[in-house]
Amino acid sequence: MGGFSAAHFRENTAPHAAARTAGAAETGHGRGVESPSAVLASSPASLLPARQARYPGSMAFRRLLPFLAILANGCAQTASTAPATLAVHVLVACSSQGAGQPARFPGVDASLCLDRTPFLTQKDVESAELHQNSQGHAVVFLTFHRDAAIRELDVTRQNAGRRVAIVVNGRVVAAPSIAASSRFLYIDARFTPQQAKALVAAFNRQAGNR
């Protein structure tokens, strides 16, 4: 605003106001007429609201700030303690007796569905670690309790060459082919580092690892 302050404005306009008042008195037009400054000085305080009163919305917003901060903190804590679910299914023909819901994943044949019963779930997880694939992307690495690890070895040995669907939090995130029998699981699903860290923390927390 050109560097003008309110005080500067008053100082520069005061001589002109004084000159107008003196002129009015000399010509007789100013008799009995109050100057603008006198009118303002005599006006009731209710007619001259404070600067804060002109913006009631900003006052209300400032009052809400502590509550908004509490809400944001609560949301952050909820996100950091959110549980993680896992279900790993062999993909089978949708026409087969044990077929469940369609896989619906890019690159997976539309005729393939998830086997109705998963052979691994989050209850089988013993520990989780944050790894990286060859491209440097975050990968979630899971190890399983002994009975679940043996189950995975059997299922992957019997279904080598077929695909599995890895379902995390109710969504198919990967559908890799079974290259060989295994007792571990890598979840390579283009996670952001933050997403992968949150999943690792959730799986470990649910497994009793802190």
Residue-wise pLDDT for 94-120, tens only, equals 999 999 999 999 999 999 999 999 999
Tell me which of 143 and 69 has the higher pLDDT.
Answer: 143
**How many CB atoms within 10 Å of residue 44?**
6
Q: Which CATH architecture has domain 86-206?
A: 2-Layer Sandwich (3.30)
The answer to whether residues 78 and 146 touch, using CB atoms and an 8 Å cutoff, is no
3-39 CB burial, b ≥16 within 10 A, e <16: eeeeeeeeeeeeeeeeeebeeeeeeeeeeeeeeeeee
C-alpha 139/C-alpha 147 separation (Å) is 24
Does pTM top 0.85 for this prediction? Answer: no
pLDDT one-digit tens code per residue, 8-64:
333 444 444 444 444 444 444 444 444 444 444 444 444 444 554 454 556 665 666
Half-sphere exposure of 202 (CA within 13 A, CB side): 21
